Amino acid sequence: SVIESEFPEQLELCNYKLLNQIGDGAFSRVFKAVNVASIDQIPVAIKVIKKKSVFSEYEKHGHGAEDSDRIKPCSRESILNEIAIHKMVSENNPYLVMFIGFQESVSYFYIVSELVTGGEIFDKIIQMSSFSEDLARHVITQVAIAVKHMHYMGVVHRDIKPENLLFDPIPFYGVDGDEFKLGVGGGGIGFVKLTDFGLAKRISHNTAKTPCGTIEYTAPEIFNLEGYSMKVDMWGIGCVLYTLLCGYPPFTEKNPSKLVKKISEGDYEFLAPWWDGVSSGAKNAISHLLEVDPSKRYDIDEFLNDPWLNTYDCLRPSTL
Ligand code: ADP
Ligand code: MG
């Protein structure tokens, strides 16, 4: 039977009822939904990608657009790639939004995932204007654990940004002074989950960590290129960390070609007064992430060993 709804996406969707829209992206709308066949009625998130717009956008950008890092790929293959990677990496990892299922209809692709209710880091930054160093460390540590999991599986995310990082405000009982109180887990702000695998890519040779194929005959730049592509995520982590600590991104420029130039030259600053109160340790970590030369940029293990990231603070025990 057809479920009544104000959303056109509902008509072709089986088993799930769309409740309300909770997000959108360049090619998608995301809804809170519920599986009407389930007993528990636990709400989920469904990302709906419209096929028509997918293909017309694809044509607009021309063939070969899926090879570009900056244009969102939108062929059928790329959606199946997103699903396959999402399913593979999010299994048994609390720092990645869990994949639940997939449906395909005449007009839409539907990706069902766990519902994360705390909103985007993007909105939290706007709300709070900036994060304390302890809170920024708490957030970025969880992002780094998610990225480590992906990189170790040979997958690069390629779209790490505040819009793709969601807060999960898990309620928990904790001791506050001599009281036992209901609070929010994860240092009072919630746990952090990485999502959106639309640009994610499997890397065949994982920097010789798990060599496969005949290495004897492989040119060195192949290893370098593939290894360096993981470093794209480290740059993304650097941009997020920078933004958390001051409330604005490291590279801003209205003119797109000037923006590209600034990024290519690594032309960012720790501007006064926003950065005056920030420790040199935090700035040092950022400078290793926003390093233009990928061979000198931190990899995920180096970042996880960074002294600033490993500074003790009161939020840490509840995080990890
Ligand atoms: P796009 O590829 O179009 O950017 P995303 O997967 O990033 O699509 O989803 C767009 C937005 O929808 C996210 O930025 C987020 O605000 C919201 N969203 C996506 N997945 C979930 C989820 N599982 N739980 C809650 N909100 C979500
Ligand atoms: Mg997104």
Digit-coded pLDDT (tens) for 251-275: 999 999 999 999 999 999 999 999 9
Say yes or no to pLDDT of 63 above 80.
no
Say yes or no to pLDDT of 73 above 50.
no
Q: Which atom of ligand 1 is nearest to the CA of 196?
A: 6
Q: Choose one of 166, 168, 193 to mutate for the ligand 1 pocket test, by most ligand atoms within 8 angstroms of C-beta.
A: 166
Contact of 165 with 136, CB cutoff 8 Å? no
CA distance linking residue 27 with residue 97, whole number of Å: 19
**In this structure, which residue's CA is closest to atom 12 in ligand 1?**
23
CA distance linking residue 296 with residue 31, whole number of Å: 41
The Å distance, Cα 216 to ligand 2 centre, comes to: 39
Q: Choose one of 9, 47, 122, 160 to mutate for the ligand 1 pocket test, by most ligand atoms within 8 angstroms of C-beta.
A: 47
Q: Which ligand is nearest to the CA of 120?
A: 1
> How many CB atoms within 10 Å of residue 3?
14
The Å distance, Cα 45 to ligand 2 centre, comes to: 14
- Residue-level pLDDT at 282: 98
Q: How confident is the model at residue 318 (pLDDT cuts 50, 70, 90)?
A: very low
Token readout for 141 is: 């540590």
Task: Identify the CA nearest to 243 among candidates 135, 96, 169, 148.
Answer: 135
Q: Which atom of ligand 1 is nearest to the CA of 163?
A: 14
Query: With pLDDT > 90 as the criterion, what percentage of the chain qualifies?
Result: 62
- Residue 30: partners with Cβ closer than 8 Å, 6 or more residues away: 21, 22, 23, 24, 45, 46, 47, 48
For residue 250, say if its preceding peptide bond is cis, omega within 30 degrees of 0: no
Q: How confident is the model at residue 174 (pLDDT cuts 50, 70, 90)?
A: low
Q: Which ligand is nearest to the CA of 72?
A: 1
- Residue-level pLDDT at 181: 64
- Residue-level pLDDT at 173: 64
Q: Which atom of ligand 1 is nearest to the CA of 116?
A: 24
- Residue-level pLDDT at 219: 76
Residues that are catalytic: 159
Q: Which residue has the higher pLDDT, 182 or 295?
A: 295
Q: Which residues are annotated as a binding site for ATP?
A: 51
CA distance linking residue 67 with residue 260, whole number of Å: 19
The Å distance, Cα 220 to ligand 1 centre, comes to: 38
Say yes or no to pLDDT of 193 above 90.
yes
Q: Which residues are annotated as a binding site?
A: 51
Query: 201-217 pLDDT, tens per residue?
Result: 998 654 444 445 566 77
- Residue-level pLDDT at 184: 62
What does R_g of the chain's alpha carbons equal in angstroms? 21
Tell me: ipTM over 0.90.
Answer: yes
Q: Which range has highest mean pLDDT (172-186, 192-206, 246-260)?
A: 246-260
Distances (CA, A) of 170 to 100, 207, 241, 319: 19, 37, 23, 12
Q: Which ligand is nearest to the CA of 117?
A: 1
- Residue-level pLDDT at 16: 96
The Å distance, Cα 141 to ligand 1 centre, comes to: 21
Q: How confident is the model at residue 64 (pLDDT cuts 50, 70, 90)?
A: very low
| Phi-psi group of 313: left, alpha or beta (phi > 0 → left; psi -120 to 50 → alpha; rest → beta) | beta
Say yes or no to pLDDT of 67 above 60.
no
Token readout for 200 is: 């994610």
Task: Identify the CA nearest to 167 among candidates 131, 123, 132, 128.
Answer: 123
Q: Rounded to 5 degrees, what angle do the CA atoms 236, 139, 131 make?
A: 95
> What 3 state SS string does 117-139 have?
CCCEHHHHHHHHCCCCHHHHHHH
Q: Which atom of ligand 1 is nearest to the CA of 28?
A: 3
The Å distance, Cα 232 to ligand 2 centre, comes to: 16
Q: Which residue has the higher pLDDT, 59 or 126?
A: 126
**In this structure, which residue's CA is closest to atom 11 in ligand 1?**
23
pTM over cut 0.80: yes
Residues with CB under 6 A from ligand 1: 22-23, 25-28, 30, 45, 47, 97, 113-116, 120, 163-164, 166, 195-196, 198
